Structure 1
Amino acid sequence: MTASEFKALARAALTRAASWLRPHLRPRSLLLLPALFCIYVLVLIPFTPGIRDIRRAKVDQPAQIYSADGKLLAEFRPTHREWVSLKEISPQVIDALIATEDRRFYQHHGIDFRRTAGAALRTFSGDRQGGSTLTQQLARNLYPEEIGRSQTLTRKLKEAITAFKIEALYSKDEILETYLNTVPFLYNAYGIEMAARTYFDKSAGQLDVLESATLIGMLKGNSYYNPVLNPERALDRRNIVLGQMVKFGHLQPAKLDALRKRPLRIDFERQTEEPGRAPHFAQQLRKWLIAWADDNDYNIYSDGLVVRTTIDSRLQTMATNALAWQGNQLQSIANAAWGGRGGCANANVDLGHAFIRETDQYRALRTGGANDADALKHLGADRAFMQTLCENKTRVQAAFVALDPRNGQIRAWVGSRDFTQDPFDHVAQARRQPGSTFKPFVYGAAFDRGAKPTDTFVDQAVEIPIRGDEIWRPTDDSPPSGRPVSLRDGIAYSKNRITAQLMESVGPARVARLARDMGVRESHLDVVPSLALGTSPVTLKEMVSAYGTIANDGSYIEPLLVTRIENKDGDVLAQFESAPERALSVDATRKLVDVMRDVINRGTGTAIRTRFGVRADVAGKTGTTQDNADGWFILMHPQLVAGAWVGFNDSRVTLRSDYWGQGAHSALPIVGDFMQRSLRSHVIDVRARFDTQETPGFWATRLTRLRTWIAQTFTSEPKPSAAKQTSVQKPVRAKRAPSEPEAEVTDAPSEPPVFTTMPPILPAPGEAASSVAPAAPAEAASDTQQ
C-alpha cells in the first residue's frame, strides 16, 4: 500500500469515527481531550533531541588537524563561525534581542504562554504572528531535522518539548550565548561575531546601539531585511527595534528621534576563513575524515577529535614557497607570450573567440537574438570583460606533492598557486597527460623480463600499427641517427623512438598492469602503444606514489594522510599504516633506479646538480606533453620523493615557448628548490643512498658457493700470512665534473661505455659554484602521439 493510499484510508476512518462520536458526545466527554493531548505529548518526547545531543550542540569542539611535528594545520568547523562568550558581546545587542524577540525571556521556562496565546488569537483573527521564545528559536536553529520545518501542531509541540529540555539543562546566560553564536546572518556568517565583522568590520563587543539594532532586526527575515541589498527595509526595521528598546526600558526615549535619523553606515566585507598551512591537503582530509567518523559513530564538528597527520610543516612551507616563486616567474613569461592582460584574443584570434563562445555572456547575447559575429564583436570590445577572461585563461597553475617512500606518508601537498584564488586541487583532482614521466614503467617492465641497461635499439624511424589503418609514428627533437642506443641512454635523454620500440617488445598490457601495481590506480589507462609516452591522463598524486614504489625497492605503499586519531583527552582512537605490496622485482627496480640516476647526472635533469647543487643520491625523470601543454618533473631520494606539475587549467593554453614549456625548465625548478632546502635543513639525510646492488638469483648463489668450495678444496697455493698484510691500497675513483653533461648520443660507441652507479660528489651548498648553469640537454617536446 502506498503512502497516499494509507493517508486516504486513515482520513476516511477518522471521518467515520467523528460522525459516530458526534451524537454521543456530552459535556463530560470533553474532559477526555486534555488527557488525550497529554498522552500525545508523552508519545512525542522520544522523538525530540536527547539531552546528550543538546549538550553536544552547545559545546562546539571541532576536529583539530595537526602536522607530524605538532603544528596546527586546520580546524574543521561546520560553518563559518567564531564562538564568543556573552561577556565579549556588546550589552546593547542583548538588550535589542530581548526587547524585540522575547521580552519575558527571564520569566518563562522555555515557553511564554501569554505570548503564545496572544499570537494564536491574532492569527485566528487574520493577523498572523509568531509566538516563539528565544529558547524555542534556538531549538529550531540547532535541530531543524529532528524538529521539522512544517507549520503543524506536531512540529510546535516538538519545539516546545526541546525548549523545556534546554531550559532544564542551561542557564539563561548560556541560552543567550548559544543563541547569539549560532543564529545565521547571510553570506556564510554564523553568530554575532562573524555578523559584526561582515557588516561593520568590527568585533561583537564593539557594536553600538544602531549597529546592534540593525543586526537584531535582520532576524525577522535575513534576506528581506538584508542591509546590503535592501537598505531601506533594513533601516525601517532597525528603527522598529529601537522603538522596542525604548518601550521596554532599554533605551532612553529622548535619544530615539536622533537615532532614527542616522544612516545605516554599513561597512560590508565577506569573511573568508584563513587557508592555513596546507589548505588543499586539509580539503582532501576532510572528506576522508567524515567517512571515517560516520563509520565509527563520531562527529568531526563536535567530538573534539585530534587528528595527527603525516604533513611536515617545514617541508610544507618549503614546497609552498618554491611553487609560489617559480609560478610568479612563469606568469611573467605567460603574460608576455599572450600579449599582456586582455591580449589573449590578439595573440591567438581563433582561440580567443573560442574562449568568448564558452562564456555565459556570449550565450546570453545569442539567446537575446544576436548572431555569432555581433556577439563576438560586442564582447571583444568590452575591455573589462576581455581582461578578466584572459587573466583567468592565462593564469599559470602548478602543483606539488612529496612523500616518504619508506612508509607512504605524505609530507607536503600544494594543490595550486593560491588556494583562495583557485581552490581546485591539481594534486588529486586534475588529470593531465604525464608525458615522459610515464616512461619508467616501460623500462621497468622490460627489466622485469630480463632486459639490461646495456641492451640497445637502433635510433630509426618507427611506424607502429594501432587500429585499422592508423599508424603511430613517434618522433624526437632530432632526426633518426641510425645508430644503436642503449636503454640507459634512451631514458637519460628521453628518446621517444627508443621507448616506442621497447614498448612494442614488452607490450602495452604489461606496462599498463605494472603502472597500476606501482600506484596509478585511480585513472584509466588506454592499453595502446602510445601509452609509453604518457598519453593517458593521470594525477600527480598517482605518479609520485608510483615513483615512491621505485624508491622503495619495488614495494608499493598506499599514500597515507593520517597516522592516528585521538579524542580530546588524548586517548588514541585509531592508528593507521599502509602495508607494502610487491609491484616490481627487486632486481628490476634497482636497474631502473640506476638508469634514472643518469637522467640527473647527465640527461634531461642535470639542472638538479648544476643549478641547485643537490649532491645527494637522487634519480628522476622529466616530462613534457604535446605542444608543451604540461610540464612534469619527479625526483627520488631514498627518504623523500617529490613531484611537480606546471600548466594551465585549459590545456589549449601553453607558455608558447619550446624552452620554458619543457618540464626541465617549468616543473624541475620547483622540485630542485624544495630538495635543496630540505637537504640543507637536514630534514632528510644527504648521505642516504639507494641500494642498487643486484641480488643474485637462486642458481647464481649456488653456483658461486660451488666455485668457492672447489677453490678452497683443490687449491694448492698457501694462504697469505695475516702478518704480511700491513697496508691496503685504496681504490682511486675517477672524477667527472657534474656540471659537464655529456652530449646526446649520436654515434654508437665501439665498446660499451662504463657508467658510474653513484652520483658524483658535488661541492657543499655553501661552497663556491658557477653562477651560470649550463643548459640541460633538451628534452623531446613531442611526448604524445603524433
Structure 2
Amino acid sequence: MATKTTKKPSKKAPQNNTRKHVKTFWKLFAAFIGFIILVFLLTSWGVLGSLPDETTLENPEKNLATEIIGSDGKVLGKFYKENRTPVPYDSLPDHLINALIATEDVRFYDHSGIDGRGTLRAFVFLGSRGGASTISQQLAKLFFTENASRNKFARGMQKLKEWVIATRLERRYTKEEILTMYFNEYDFLNQAVGIQSASHIYFDKEPNELTTVESAILVGMFKNSSLYNPLRNPEGVRNRRNVVLSQMEKYDYISETVKDSLQALPLEIKFTPQGHNEGIATYFREYARAFMQDWIDDNPKTDGSKYNMYSDGLKIYTTIDSKMQEYAEEAVDMHMAHLQKEFNKQNEKNKTAPFRDITEEETDKILMSSMKRSDRWREMEKQGKNDKEIIESFKKKSKMRIFSWGGDIDTTMTPMDSIRYYKSFLQASMMSMTPQTGEVKAWVGGIDYKHFKYDMVKTGKRQIGSTFKPFVYATAIDQMHMSPCDTLPNTPYCVPAGKHGNTKDWCPNNSGGDYGDMVNLKEALARSINTATARLIDRVGPRPVIDLVAKMGIETKNMPEVPSIALGTPDVSLYEMVGAYSTFANEGVYVKPTLIQRIEDKNGTVLFQHVPETKDVISDETAYVTVSLMQGVTQSGSGARLRGTWATSNSFYKSAVTGYPYNFKNPIAGKTGTTQNNSDGWFMGMVPNLVTGVWVGGEDRSVHFSSTRYGQGATMALPIWGIYMKKCYADESLEISTGNFKKPANVSIITDCAEYKQENSDVEEIPDEFDF
C-alpha cells in the first residue's frame, strides 16, 4: 500500500497576498488622488460649469448703492438695488474681525483657501462637529456661485467650484482684502447689505464705532441671517451672540470675565431703517433722485452707456447740513403736531370739516378729484373696472395703516373716509439757505414723506400774501431813492380803473381797519398796511416790480401785470421765495439756490462740479435799506414775538404757538404773510448768513382756520422759524450769525428815522398823484 505524502504549505503565499493588497491599496489611493486632482482640474477648466475669468476675479461685480452725502460728511440716504456701501479694512474694528475668525474660520491666517483639517473633520464626522467652509469659500459662494441646490450632486459640484474660486481668491488678494470683501458683501437683511449698512440699520453708527457685543451680534448673523434676524427672533439672536462671545473667549480674544459680563447684557438693537420713506431729508432725497435722472440722461459714460444710480456706487455731495436738516424737521414736527391739535379742536363743530367756505358740490368735486389721482383708482382702471365699480370700492371698509402725529395707526375705514381724513392735515414746508453761496442747508417738503409725498418746497406753489410786499418797497427805494423814514398817508386808497391794466377800481382794505394819519415806510411794512403798499405800486407800476422779482429767480410767466400783485396774489414756490429774499441779505446779488455740489464715481473721479449762478439785481444800498425795513417787522410788527417781549401776557398766543418765548436779541429781518381766508401762512426770516422760509397751509385752500388769530403767518409759520433758529443757535458749531447786516460803505439813504426827522423837518410829503 502506497503511502500518501502531504505537501507543506508555502510560507511565501501570505506575504505575497499582503504585498498584493498593499499595492492595490496604494493604486486605489493614487487613483483616488488622481481622480480628485482630475476633478479639480476639470472644475478649474470650466468643464463642470462656468467659472469667473481672471478679469472678474480682479474686479468682482457688485451692486453698489449711490450715497447722498451732506455738507458735513454724513450720509443722508441712498439709492440702491442692494443697500451696499463698501468700507475699507481700517474701518473694521479689531473685535469685529476677531469675532468672525473665532466663530467662522479660526485657522483663516494659516490656510490658502481650503482648511484641510476642517475638511477632513467634516468628512469623518459628516458635518456633526462643524462645517469645513472657510471665509474664502464663503466669499466665493457669495460672489461667484449660485445659491445651494437641494440636489446633492449639484451641491457637490458647486462646492468644488467654491474650493477652486477660494484658492484663486487667496492668490489674488491679501487676507485683509478677503475679510473686507466678505464683510462688505454679506446680506444682513432688512435692506442691510454689507457691514456699513448693517451697522447703521441695527445700531445707527459707523462700523468703527461698534462695540464688542454689537460686533458679536452681527457676526452671529453670518450663520443664517434669516434665522438670526434681530427683528423677528431676538431670543435666538441673543443666544447666537453668546455663542460668538464664547468662541472669542475660547481662542483668547477676550477674557472669561469679559465674556460673562457681555453675555449677561440684554439685546440692544437701535433699528434705523434706510428705506426711501425713512430717515432724514426724505423730500430732498426725492429731489436729488430727479436731479440725478436728468443728469444721467445728459451725461453718458465714455463708452456711451448710462450710469445707473442704483448700482454704480456714485457719491452725490450735497449742500444739506445734516444737523440743520434734523433741526428743521424737529421744528416742523414740534409745531405742526401742536397746531394740528388746535385745528382738529376747531373743526369739531364744523359740519363741512375739514373744509370751510365751500358748497357741498365743491366738496364732492375735491374728493372725486382726489379719488381719480389715487393709486387705487389707477390700479383698478388697469384691471378693466369701470368708474361705477371703482367708486363703489371706495365705499367699502378695509384694513389700513394711517398717519397720525402720535405714530401710524392700524384701523378700518373706507378709502373715501381715508381721503377726507388725510385732507384734514395741515401741511408745512421749510427751506434754509446761505445767501452768499446759494447753498441750501435744510429742505423739508412736507410733514411726512411716507404719507404725503407732494413736495411743497419746489413743486408746490401757493399765494404768498404780504411776503411779496418787500419787493414792492425795494422797487420804490431803487427807483425813487425812498427812505424807510419817508411817510405816506394811512388812509383808504384806490388805484382807479384803466390805470396799470386795472379793469376796475382796486381799493384794498387794511387788516382790522388799521387806518390813521401818516405812517413811515418802516412802520407801514412792520404793520403790513395794505394801502401803503398800494400807494407804492401805483407810483412805480407793476412792471418794474415783476421785472425785479424775475431777476431774483421767481417765475413771472403767469404773473398778471396789475397792481393787486403788490399784496401777494401770485402763486410762488418756497424755493423761489428763499432765493429771492437771499438777494437782500447778499447785498443785492442773486445766487441761484444749489443743492448738488459734485458727483463722483465709485473710484472718486469727479463727474460733475457745480458752478454758482449769480446775477447783480439791485444796488447794495437798495438791498441794505430794504433789509432795514424788514428789521422793523421783527422789532415792532407781526414778527416782534420773536423777541420774547411781545404779548407776554397773551394766554391765547402762549397756547397757540410752540416754543414761545424765543427771546432773540440779535438783528433779524423778516416778513410774515397771510392769504385770503387764512389759507396760507408764511414767514420769511433772515440773519446775515442764513435765509429761511416757512409755509403752512392745507392741501386744499378750503382747508384753513376760521379766523386770522390762528390762520395768520405769525401763528402758523413763524413759530417753526423760531424753533429752528433756537436749535441752530444752540449748536455753536454751525456758526449762525448773531451780528448786524453788512452796511455798504456809501449809504446816502437815511435809515435812522430820528436823524431823518431832524434833517427833513421842513420837507413836504410827496403827493401820490406825482407821476414817477
Partner of 2:475: 445
The correspondence for 2:506, drawn from 472, 489, 502, is: 472
Deviations along 1:472-506, whole A, 9 cap, x unmatched? 33222233736233222221111112112211211
Among all aligned residue pairs of Structure 1 and Structure 2, give the percentage whose two residues are the same amino acid.
Answer: 30
| Structural mapping, 1:561-600, within 5 Å | 561-570=595-604, 572-600=606-634
Partner of 1:412: 442
Partner of 2:669: 619
Query: Could you tell me which amino acid in structure 2 is paired with residue 288 of structure 1?
Result: F
Query: Could you tell me which amino acid in structure 2 is paired with residue 300 of structure 1?
Result: M
Which sections of structure 2, spanning at least 5 residues, go unmatched? 1-51, 88-99, 101-133, 160-171, 202-219, 230-272, 302-306, 398-411, 645-660, 762-772
| Structural mapping, 1:113-124, within 5 Å | none
In 1, distance between residues paired with 2:701 and 2:53?
Answer: 54
In 1, distance between residues paired with 2:643 and 2:359?
Answer: 41
Partner of 1:459: 491
Q: Does 1:666 align with 2:670?
A: no
Query: Could you tell me which amino acid in structure 1 is paired with residue 583 of structure 2?
Result: T
Partner of 1:140: none
Q: Is the 8 A contact 1:345 1:352 kept in 2?
A: no
The alpha-carbon deviation at position 395 of structure 1 amounts to 0.9
| Structural mapping, 1:311-710, within 5 Å | 311-339=320-348, 344=353, 350=360, 352-358=363-369, 359=371, 384-385=414-415, 387-452=417-482, 453=484, 454-465=486-497, 469-479=503-513, 481=515, 483-521=517-555, 524-570=558-604, 572-610=606-644, 611-682=661-732, 683-693=734-744, 695=746
Partner of 1:76: 79
The correspondence for 1:281, drawn from 280, 284, 294, is: 284
Query: Could you tell me which amino acid in structure 1 is paired with residue 522 of structure 2?
Result: R
- Pair 408,346 (structure 1): closer, same or farther in 2 beyond 3 Å: closer
- Pair 450,369 (structure 1): closer, same or farther in 2 beyond 3 Å: closer
In 2, distance between residues paired with 1:349 and 1:670?
Answer: 33
- The worse-fitting range, judged by mean Cα deviation, of 484-493 and 473-482 is 473-482
Q: Is the 8 A contact 1:523 1:538 kept in 2?
A: no
SS at 1:678's partner residue?
helix
In 1, distance between residues paired with 2:700 and 2:151?
Answer: 52
Partner of 1:310: 319
Query: Could you tell me which amino acid in structure 1 is paired with residue 433 of structure 2?
Result: L
The alpha-carbon deviation at position 65 of structure 1 amounts to 2.1
In 2, distance between residues paired with 1:430 and 1:346?
Answer: 20
SS at 1:68's partner residue?
coil
- Pair 583,751 (structure 1): closer, same or farther in 2 beyond 3 Å: closer
SS at 1:659's partner residue?
helix
Query: Could you tell me which amino acid in structure 1 is paired with residue 443 of structure 2?
Result: W
The alpha-carbon deviation at position 334 of structure 1 amounts to 1.8
Deviations along 1:654-674, whole A, 9 cap, x unmatched? 122321110000000000111
Query: Could you tell me which amino acid in structure 2 is paired with residue 435 of structure 1?
Result: G
In 2, distance between residues paired with 1:527 and 1:88?
Answer: 73
- Pair 362,421 (structure 1): closer, same or farther in 2 beyond 3 Å: closer
Deviations along 1:303-328, whole A, 9 cap, x unmatched? 43333321122211111111100110
Query: Could you tell me which amino acid in structure 1 is paired with residue 492 of structure 2?
Result: Q
- Pair 57,661 (structure 1): closer, same or farther in 2 beyond 3 Å: farther
The alpha-carbon deviation at position 83 of structure 1 amounts to 11
SS at 2:340's partner residue?
helix
SS at 2:513's partner residue?
coil
In 2, distance between residues paired with 1:420 and 1:368?
Answer: 28
In 2, distance between residues paired with 1:499 and 1:661?
Answer: 22
Query: Could you tell me which amino acid in structure 1 is paired with residue 629 of structure 2?
Result: V
In 1, distance between residues paired with 2:157 and 2:488?
Answer: 93
Query: Could you tell me which amino acid in structure 1 is paired with residue 471 of structure 2?
Result: F
The alpha-carbon deviation at position 508 of structure 1 amounts to 1.2
- Pair 595,59 (structure 1): closer, same or farther in 2 beyond 3 Å: same
Query: Could you tell me which amino acid in structure 1 is paired with residue 643 of structure 2?
Result: R
Query: Could you tell me which amino acid in structure 1 is paired with residue 344 of structure 2?
Result: N
Deviations along 1:699-744, whole A, 9 cap, x unmatched? x9xxxxxxxxxxxxxxxxxxxxxxxxxxxxxxxx99xxxxxxxxxx
- Pair 83,98 (structure 1): closer, same or farther in 2 beyond 3 Å: farther
SS at 2:431's partner residue?
strand
Deviations along 1:119-174, whole A, 9 cap, x unmatched? xxxxxxxxxxxxxxxxxxxxxxxxxxxxxxxxxxxxxxxxxxxxxxxxxx99xxx9
Q: Does 1:61 align with 2:111?
A: no
Query: Could you tell me which amino acid in structure 2 is paired with residue 312 of structure 1?
Result: D
- TM value normalised by structure 1: 0.57
- Pair 83,318 (structure 1): closer, same or farther in 2 beyond 3 Å: closer
Q: Is the 8 A contact 1:342 1:383 kept in 2?
A: no
SS at 1:590's partner residue?
helix
- Pair 299,462 (structure 1): closer, same or farther in 2 beyond 3 Å: same
SS at 1:544's partner residue?
helix
- Pair 362,687 (structure 1): closer, same or farther in 2 beyond 3 Å: closer
Q: Is the 8 A contact 2:191 2:275 kept in 1?
A: no
The alpha-carbon deviation at position 556 of structure 1 amounts to 0.5
Partner of 1:6: none
- Pair 647,418 (structure 1): closer, same or farther in 2 beyond 3 Å: same
- Pair 396,204 (structure 1): closer, same or farther in 2 beyond 3 Å: farther
Q: Is the 8 A contact 2:683 2:694 kept in 1?
A: yes
In 1, distance between residues paired with 2:530 and 2:625?
Answer: 20
SS at 1:556's partner residue?
strand
Which sections of structure 1, spanning at least 5 residues, go unmatched? 1-48, 110-168, 212-269, 701-732, 735-748, 754-786
SS at 1:591's partner residue?
helix
- Pair 369,384 (structure 1): closer, same or farther in 2 beyond 3 Å: closer
The alpha-carbon deviation at position 597 of structure 1 amounts to 0.4
- Pair 345,417 (structure 1): closer, same or farther in 2 beyond 3 Å: closer
In 2, distance between residues paired with 1:637 and 1:83?
Answer: 40
SS at 1:478's partner residue?
helix
Partner of 1:295: 299
Q: Is the 8 A contact 2:64 2:83 kept in 1?
A: no
SS at 2:677's partner residue?
helix
| Structural mapping, 1:135-150, within 5 Å | none
Query: Could you tell me which amino acid in structure 1 is paired with residue 462 of structure 2?
Result: R
In 1, distance between residues paired with 2:137 and 2:528?
Answer: 65
Q: Is the 8 A contact 1:427 1:539 kept in 2?
A: yes
The alpha-carbon deviation at position 528 of structure 1 amounts to 2.1
- Pair 285,56 (structure 1): closer, same or farther in 2 beyond 3 Å: farther
The alpha-carbon deviation at position 406 of structure 1 amounts to 1.3
Deviations along 1:14-53, whole A, 9 cap, x unmatched? xxxxxxxxxxxxxxxxxxxxxxxxxxxxxxxxxxx99989
- Pair 375,463 (structure 1): closer, same or farther in 2 beyond 3 Å: farther
- Pair 82,604 (structure 1): closer, same or farther in 2 beyond 3 Å: same
- Pair 523,428 (structure 1): closer, same or farther in 2 beyond 3 Å: farther
Query: Could you tell me which amino acid in structure 2 is paired with residue 295 of structure 1?
Result: N
- The worse-fitting range, judged by mean Cα deviation, of 290-299 and 272-281 is 290-299
Query: Could you tell me which amino acid in structure 1 is paired with residue 678 of structure 2?
Result: N
Q: Is the 8 A contact 2:534 2:566 kept in 1?
A: yes
- Pair 76,484 (structure 1): closer, same or farther in 2 beyond 3 Å: same
The alpha-carbon deviation at position 564 of structure 1 amounts to 3.5
| Structural mapping, 1:70-219, within 5 Å | 70-78=73-81, 98-99=148-149, 104=154, 206=224
- Pair 89,480 (structure 1): closer, same or farther in 2 beyond 3 Å: farther
